[in-house]
Amino acid sequence: MQQKHIAYKNRLILGLGQTGLAVARYLSALHQPFNVMDTRDIAPGHEELEKLAPGSLLKWNGQKFTEYDELVVSPGIAITRDDIRVAQEAGVSVIGDIELFAQANTLPVIAITGSNGKSTVTDLVGALINASGNKALVGGNIGVPALELLEQVGDYVVLELSSFQLETTHSLQPIAATVLNVSEDHLDRYSSYQEYVDAKRSIYAKASTCLINADDNNSWYEATDQSQKIVRFGLSSNNQQLDWEVDIENGAIKYQGQEILKLDQLTLQGIHNAMNVAVALALLTVAGIKLNKAVLDKAKSYQGLPHRSQLVGIKHGVTFINDSKATNVGATVAAIQSFEPQFGKNIILIAGGDAKGADLSSLQESIKSTVKAVICFGKDAPAIAKLAPQKTRLVSNLQEAVAMANEQSHDGDLVLLSPACASLDMFANYMQRGEQFAQCVEAL
């Protein structure tokens, strides 16, 4: 990709890891000076950095921050730290890797954030652009660090952006930007929920077109000037004026009232995923890409990312969904609500693991009103069981949970693995948990 020149500065990279290494590689290739500091005694990637720029890794010393023109802060480090704040007050600029990318990038950018669903939408948008005959470069908070995309050839850049990345980004000018939704998260990094919301909404600041979720006022935005366009998406049942809508009653995704796809044509499962498809199609339209047959066929066949409301199989009329990525209560509540329009009260929930001290009470109403049975395993299974004792059975492990769910299910039911808990009490990670679930279902 053709790149614009960035200013020559003496920079300090804070935090090594994947992002810090990407910044170091980028600055090294430009022959610009830099050092790296990390709070860890043995920073991941230090061996590669030593080969790339010998002696560049220094011990963390906030008093030396003011010796640099610019701090390039990795997303895992809070810019509210006292030493970073003091440097900023002394005139040192504070940015992140996305800001460096924005200063050099020449391709049109589609920017996506949100508390839930942003990885799926980002990946889907990339797949749809490629299906259209154009080339998408996908990265940011998913997969490839944004700076590495500058080395590739493509037509569009699709970026997933976290709130941490957005708070150090000022120059990005997306052709389309969206906040899919906002729910409480990362409050250990923010002084208030509103501060987190504001960080998400900053994605709109210099966007040509802003796609807002009409059903989530935390994603709402008022254009700063007449050149910015607003596109609204949401559920048609809420009686709002929408550009893109998921019409549950008529089972369709619509654009300006015209049916684009039937919901039963989608491989992706759940109303929340139908909304993800609608948003992805909206982003393509805003980018000027026609929704031809190849694009719509890809939208129908797209299977989603592993462990996120992923269809594992249908056995004897029973649908099995792997939502192992649901490691908190909010994600599980969202999954249950999403599948309720399709399955009604015929949902068997498999849940449990390490709740990390979280308040489980918000799950209680969904279980009582929608779920017909709960099967629990893992460290905090007893706490989940207390939410609805009459509906709940305790088992020792995931294999037993799948076997019991299979015994209790009937044609037309949904067996949903959506744990509401972390996996580390019994698994290496949520991926291993989801893979074991899939293997158990396959063996039925």
- 54-66 pLDDT, tens digit each: 999 999 999 999 9
Q: What is the separation, in whole angstroms, between the first and last Cα of the chain? A: 49
**Residue among 92, 22, 83 nearest 52 (CA):** 22
pLDDT band at 187 (very low <50, low <70, confident <90, very high): low
At a CB cut-off of 8 Å and minimum separation 6, what does 71 contact? Answer: 11, 12, 14, 65, 84, 87, 88, 92, 93, 94, 95
In angstroms, the CA 385 to CA 128 distance is: 42
pLDDT band at 331 (very low <50, low <70, confident <90, very high): confident
Catalytic residues: 118, 141, 186
pTM: 0.88
213 φ, ψ to 5°? -85, 110
Model confidence at 184: pLDDT above 80: no
How many other CB atoms are there within 10 angstroms of residue 218's CB atom?
19
Q: Is the dihedral of CA 80, 144, 270, 345 positive or negative?
A: negative
Specify the DSSP class assigned to residue 357: T
Model confidence at 99: pLDDT above 90: yes
Domains, the chain, in order of start with CATH, read: 11-95 (3.40.50.720), 100-301 (3.40.1190.10), 310-442 (3.90.190.20)
Which pLDDT value is given to residue 233?
Answer: 96
- Assign 335 to helix, strand or coil: helix
Which pLDDT value is given to residue 222?
Answer: 85
For the stretch 296-328, pLDDT in tens is 999 999 999 999 999 999 999 999 999 999 988
Q: Please classify residue 424 by burial: count the beta carbons closer than 10 Å to its beta carbon, then call 0-12 exposed, 13-18 middle and 19+ buried.
A: middle
Q: Mean pLDDT throughout 385-408?
A: 97
